[in-house]
Every structure is written in C-alpha cells, then in structure tokens.
C-alpha cells in the first residue's frame, strides 16, 4: 500500500468513525432525554440487572449469528468442512471468522459494561440500555456488511459497536458512587 493509498484509507476510516459517533451521540441523547419516558422506571437493583440481561439477548444473538455463519459456510464447502484444523481455508470462511472473532471480543466487553451501567443509571433512564443494545446490533450488522470493503467499510460498524460500549463504560464510571 502506498502512502497515498494509506491516507485515502485512513480518511475513509475517519469518515465512517465520525458518522458512527454522531449517530450514537444522537441516539444516546434521545434515550437520556425525551426517550427516557418510553421505558418504565426501574428502582429495584435486581430488576435493573434483569432488564439489562434481557436486552443483551440481542447482543448474544449477534454472536450466535456469527457462529452460525461460519458453521454454515464450512458445512457447504469441501475446502472448509474439515474445520479450523484443515490446511486450507476459503476466503469466505476466513472473512466470516474475522467477523466472528471481532464480534466475540465486542460481546465480552459489552455485556459487563451494560450490567455495570444498569447498576448505576438513574431509575428513570433505563432507555439508555435499549439504545446501547440497538447501537451494538446495528454496529454488528454494519461491520459485517462493510467487511468486504476494507477498513473504511468496517469503520462505521466497528465504532458504532465499540464506541457505544465505551460510552457505557464511561457512563458507569461517571455515575458510580
């Protein structure tokens, strides 16, 4: 890759990241403000964690879909049916495994972040958790769809996912007593 190509790719990544950051900020602002009235107030700590865990089923679904995609592609391909221990691997499975790996990493970070935030959010701001899960799912869809288009194609989805999880971590840290 030439320096010019690198610079062009980096500009694409920055553009995708900025778009994701703006969208996430707008949705989280709405969930904190006007959208907060759409989700019932939850005062009990155990109920708040249960609410977060139920929402995070959608996060786990993203992981299940990524696992299923790799499994299906391996099942349908003579080159890939031997699994990850095989000597060769198709580019389709290699790409799906990369998406799966990134999704697993994101899930491992997101669920504890959502639980931590649920434990300290004001009881009338539970809509923020729904917004975070929505951003996670949309981010995973965008990441997978953009993956064939390189780093600029992945950037929007990656930042939508990772940025919203980062916001959950920061929010939990700021709101912690």
pLDDT tens for residues 70-128?
A: 999 999 998 888 887 777 889 999 999 999 999 999 999 999 999 999 999 999 999 99
Distance CA 74, CA 87 (A): 13
pTM metric for this prediction:
0.95
Higher-confidence residue of 9 and 85: namely: 9
Instruction: Return the domain boundaries, the chain.
Output: 3-175
Buried b (16+ CB within 10 A) or exposed e, 108-141: ebbbebbbbbbeebeeebbbbbbbbbbbbbbbbe
Helices (H), 76-149: 91-120, 127-146
Q: For domain 3-175, give the fold.
A: 1.20.120
Cβ–Cβ under 8 Å, residues 120 and 16: no
Euclidean distance between the first and the last CA atom of the chain, given in angstroms as a whole number:
49
């Amino acid at each position: 890759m030439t320096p010019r190509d690198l610079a062009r790719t980096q500009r694409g990544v920055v553009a995708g990241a900025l778009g994701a950051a703006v969208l996430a900020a707008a949705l989280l602002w709405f969930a904190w403000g006007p959208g907060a009235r759409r989700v019932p107030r939850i005062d009990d700590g155990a109920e708040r964690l249960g609410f977060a865990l139920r929402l995070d089923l959608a996060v786990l679904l993203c992981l299940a879909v990524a696992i299923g995609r790799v499994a299906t592609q391996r099942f349908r391909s003579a080159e890939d049916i031997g699994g990850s221990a095989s000597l060769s691997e198709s580019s389709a499975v290699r790409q799906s495994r990369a998406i799966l790996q990134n999704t697993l990493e994101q899930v491992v970070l997101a669920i504890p972040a959502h639980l931590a935030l649920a434990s300290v959010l004001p009881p009338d701001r539970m809509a923020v958790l729904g917004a975070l899960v929505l951003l996670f799912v949309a981010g995973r869809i965008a990441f997978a769809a953009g993956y064939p288009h390189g780093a600029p194609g992945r950037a929007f989805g990656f930042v939508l996912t990772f940025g919203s999880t980062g916001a959950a971590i920061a929010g939990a840290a700021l709101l912690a007593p």
